Structure 1
Amino acid sequence: MRREHIEDLIAKEVEQIIEGTGLELVDVEYVRERNWYLRVFIDKEGGVDLEDCQAVSEKLSKVLDEKDPISDNYLLEVSSPGLDRILKKDKDFVRYAGRSVDIHFFKAHDGVKDLTAELVGKTDDGQLKVRLDDRDETIDMKDISQVRLHIDF
């Protein structure tokens, strides 16, 4: 089974598990590092706590044991997306408009691989709208590998 198919399948299962709980599914990743990892990122207003993660993990583990959709051995992780969360869904680009984001490109864009800008939003035709040096710019999403919330330390 392809990685994307597994991620979609798990996302549907998690959506059913968290329905009506106030939790939101942020992302699902099925990746191979040294081992295979199935990572589920959840959030809610005010942030998730350990009990939220544990409850989703236990319910999802039970479903995965029953349906056994993944043939590989893997480690299940359920957690918060973190302060520097990746923005993927259209609603993320609306929710975090006005915040600083770190933009990572597949290849150099205007001479840089990464930049930090203020998020303005996202257009319907696949353009990321940002404010950079007091001017608005649009960047084609197909050129962007990742958009994360920027954290100032």
Structure 2
Amino acid sequence: MSTSKIKTTVEEMVQPYLNEHGFELVDVEYVKEGSNWFLRVFVDKDGGIDIDDCGLISEYLSQKLDENDPIPTAYFLEVSSPGAERPLKKKEDVAKSVGKNVFVTVYEPINGLKEFEGKLESFDNEELVIQTVKKQYVIPYAKVASARLAIIF
């Protein structure tokens, strides 16, 4: 099974539990690091997620994974918060982040730059407006390679 199929299968397994208990699925990663495979599930909720929440979700998902056995190799399951530099995977994530500091990379240069860090001024589902220290940039959403919240000192 491909890594993208594994991610989709895990998302489908865990989503009903998360919906029922007020959690948000932020991301699922299935990656090889060294000789080990890791299945990482990042979740959040209003007010933040704690270690007990992660434990409950991990127990639920572990049971579901054991029942369905969609992953052919040994792996480590990790359930955690997305952290302070939360990835912004969907348009909804970007929209909720207006007014916050973000770090965005693009597929091809815009005004000679491929990385932008600053305050997300607006997002209309088509373009992000980011105010950096020096100037304001308009970035087409279709050109965004990755986006995350940023801690700017």
Tell me the TM-score range normalised by the shorter chain: 0.7 to 0.9
Which stretch of the first structure deviates more once superposed, 57-66 or 126-135? Answer: 126-135
- Give TM-score scaled by structure 1 length: 0.87
For 1:55-105, what per-residue CA distance to the aligned partner results, in whole angstroms no more than 9, with x for missing partners? 000110010011000112211110000011011122211211011101123
- Describe the superposition over 1:121-147 as per-residue Cα deviations: whole angstroms up to 9, x where unpaired: 4334x4333234586532133433211
Deviations 1:2-45 (A, max 9, x none): 21121111111111122221211111111122221111001111
Counterpart in the other structure of 2:151: 151
Partner of 1:76: 77
Q: How many residues align?
A: 152
Partner in structure 2 of residue 40 of structure 1: 41
Post-superposition shift, 1:108? 4.2
Q: Which residue identity does 2:124 align to in structure 1?
A: T
Change (3 A) 1:97 1:5: same
Gaps of 5+ in 1: none
Percentage of pairs with the same residue: 39
2:121 aligned partner: 120
Which TM-score applies when normalising by structure 2?
Answer: 0.87
Q: Which residue does the alignment assign to 1:19?
A: 19
Instruction: Give the RMSD, CA atoms, in angstroms.
Output: 2.0
Q: Is the 8 A contact 2:103 2:115 kept in 1?
A: yes
SS in structure 1 of the partner of residue 20 of structure 2:
coil
1:123–1:129 contact (8 Å) kept in structure 2? no
The structure-2 alpha-carbon separation of the partners of 1:31 and 1:105, relative to structure 1 and needing over 3 Å to count, comes to same
Counterpart position of 1:64: 65
Q: Which amino acid aligns with 1:115?
A: F
Structure 2, unaligned runs of 5 or more: none
- 1:55 matched to which residue of 2? 56
The equivalent of 2:91 in structure 1 is 90
Distance 1:103 1:8 in 2: 25
CA contact (8 A) 2:110 2:139 kept: no
- State the SS of the aligned residue for 1:91: helix
Distance 1:146 1:86 in 2: 8
